[in-house]
Structure formats: structure tokens, C-alpha cells
Amino acid sequence: MASSDNHLAWDPKTLNHTDRPSGFGCLWRHTLTDNAGWSSHPCNHMANGYRVSLSERSALYNKDHQAIARRMRLVGEDFGLRSKALKRTWKRFPDNAGSKRKLTLSDFFKKARGSLYWLSRGPEGWHIGAKHLSPVPNQRLKVGSRPQFQPRQNKVQGGYGAFYPYEHNYHHLIPIGAVEEWVVGNGAPGGATRSDQVVKIILISRWNIHNEKNMLLLPQQEFESLIVGLPAHCPWGVPKHTAYQASLKERLRDLRSEVDRDLRQKKHPKDIKADILGALTALSEVLLAQVKAMRAGAQLAAAIL
């Protein structure tokens, strides 16, 4: 098998592949080689999410968050936490059932103080791509200024990572687990089992689950998401966005049914590939609009499809 063809292969134990793709898509999360091509690799979901956030979606992240935090009475003029206001805010965020540990009010204060430090630095305190010259977020790095939200690769390449300027994630609008279960896996409709043929044709369609249109930068914690105006990804140690992922089930099962029907009818492969690429791209666009409209200051909710 040629090296470029390895991107078509899948390992049933790890659902993984390692080679740089050459004309193929991707359905899995996998380790990327730490080299000069890291940031441009088509499967680097964080780098792709950063790029599209910086270029096409900067208005989502470059609001006057200082004014918003003051208007919500969460901070004083010096951006110190207003304890009475924070205690009222705390009531909005009950302990999540899926959390690994019980969160305390002091935990909440500690996380908020860390992100508000950067917000206090100026109007661009939480803006994507902004740089704060000194001090650096992690003194152990001993590296000069890096753009905010830029993914971290190592001490030489990439940014400071997922805690700068506030804890955040690059969210797959169509999650990897959902595609695995309801499109190519055993959760497909009609009792269908994993299909090598379906996997192959999706990969040949060139749809990459890590593509820019399928990525969205989200705050991790509810406090920051309240100020930013977007839902929180998986706050306070909750490992999954269960309700959100489950809401995609029927839409993805319908896609698998359509692919199976096209294959049975021996539809031309070019047409099948075009249908798959169009359907998945359109779903990402629908989900982007829905997530942007979800309640800020709360965990990512179910989509309405």
C-alpha cells in the first residue's frame, strides 16, 4: 500500500491513522508529528479552528468584554471580583452531575481570577490573536509573546495553549464520536454494522472532520462563556457534551441510510462523494448557527435539527 493510501485505512482498535493525507479526508482524531508542517496539517483541528476564528469569525471573540463584565456587575473598576455579584452568579452554575469532583465557590473564584487578569490588561484582553508582552502566561516557557488562543505545540512552535487568555477548546461541530457511532459504526440505522465501503467512500469524498468549517472556538467554563456570549464546551470537568451529541443522531443516521441506498443502487461514485461532502458541510453550517444562538453561561445544549 502506498504511503498516501494509509489515510484510507483505519485501525479498529484505535480508530487511528498517522500519515499526512494526500487527497483524502479524515474521520478520526490522531497524533500529529511534531515538525515544521504541524500548523498546516489538514487534520490539525486546533490550528484549523484558530485560523477560521481569526479570519472569518473574529467578531464573535473581539467584543468589548471589559464593558460586558462591568455591565453584568461581575467586576469592580479594577477588575477585582465582586464577591456578592459572583455569589449570585454562582447560583446559575449548579454542580454538574457528570463532574469528576464537587466544585466549590473557591474553585470558581480561582478560575475566574485567572481569566480576568488578562481581561484587565486592556480592551483587547480577551481578543483572538492579541498579544500581551509581559509577563507571559506560563513563566516556565521563557518564550516571548504569543497570540491569544493560538494552539500550543512545543516551546518553539505554537502558542501558550488552552488556558490563555481563558480556558477554551476547539469544538468539532459534528463530533468525532457521533460520526463513528451513527455513520460508520454499529449505531447506524437498520442494524447495519461497520462498513469498510462506507468509510472508504467518505474518506475519498475528501470531507475532513477537522476542517475549518467544522471547528468552533468555545469557552470551556460557564463564567467566561457568560461574558463572551457563547455556550461553554465541557465545564468543570464534565467529560462530554452528551445532550449536544445525542441531538445529531437522527440526522447522521439519515446520512448513512442515504449512502447505503446510493451504494445499493450503484449510483456513480462521483455523485455519492458529492452528496456526502455537501451533506456534511451543510450540517456543519447549520450547527454553527445553532451553537452561536445557544444560551451563554450554560453548557452546550442539544441542537434542534
More confident: 115 or 214: 214
Inter-residue contact 197 to 270 (CB < 8 Å) = no
Average pLDDT estimate for 76-88? 70
- Average confidence (pLDDT) over 265-269: 89
User: What one-character-per-residue DSSP string does 253-280 give?
Assistant: HHHHHHHHHHHHTT--HHHHHHHHHHHH
- Where are the domains positioned within the chain? 37-59+169-293
pLDDT at 291 over 70: yes
3-state secondary structure of 233: coil
Cis status, amide bond into 21, omega within 30 of 0: no
pLDDT digits over 204-219, tens only? Answer: 889 999 999 999 999 9
Return the pLDDT at 197.
Answer: 83
Query: Region 255-259: what's the mean pLDDT?
Result: 92
The pLDDT, as a whole number, for residue 74 is 80
* Distance of alpha carbon 154 from the chain centroid: 20
Tell me what pLDDT residue 187 has: 73
- Neighbour-count burial for 98-133, b at 16+ CB within 10 Å, e otherwise: eeeeebeeeebbebbebbbebbebeebbbbbbbebe
| Confidence at 58, pLDDT banded by 50, 70, 90 | very high
Question: How far is the CA of 78 from the CAs of 70, 108, 122, 165, 225, in angstroms?
Answer: 10, 19, 11, 18, 21
Average pLDDT over residues 166-174: 95
44: its cell numbers: 490539525
Which residue has cell 467584543? 63
Chain-wide mean pLDDT for the chain?
Answer: 82
Q: What is the pLDDT of residue 4?
A: 44
- Using 50, 70 and 90 to split pLDDT, how confident is the model at 2? very low
Residue 112, amino acid: A
**Alpha carbons 52 and 288: distance in angstroms, whole number:** 12
Band the pLDDT of 3: cuts 50, 70, 90: very low
Query: How many beta carbons lie within 10 A of that of residue 297, not counting itself?
Result: 22
Question: Would you say residue 107 has pLDDT above 60?
Answer: yes
Mean pLDDT of 87-113: 63
Candidate from 6-10, 25-29, 32-36, 183-187 with smallest mean pLDDT? 6-10
Higher pLDDT, 162 or 288: 288
Q: Mean pLDDT over residues 276-303, rounded?
A: 95
Give the number of other Cβ atoms within 10 Å of residue 190's Cβ.
8
Burial of 177 (0-12, 13-18, 19+ CB in 10 A): middle
| 276: amino acid identity, one letter | I
At residue 155's C-alpha, the angle toward residues 153 and 157, to 5°, is 50
State yes or no: pLDDT of 280 exceeds 80: yes
Instruction: Enumerate residues 6+ apart whose C-beta is below 8 A from 257.
Output: 189, 190
**Please, is 55 exposed, middle or buried when counting C-beta atoms within 10 Å of its C-beta (0-12, 13-18, 19+)?**
exposed
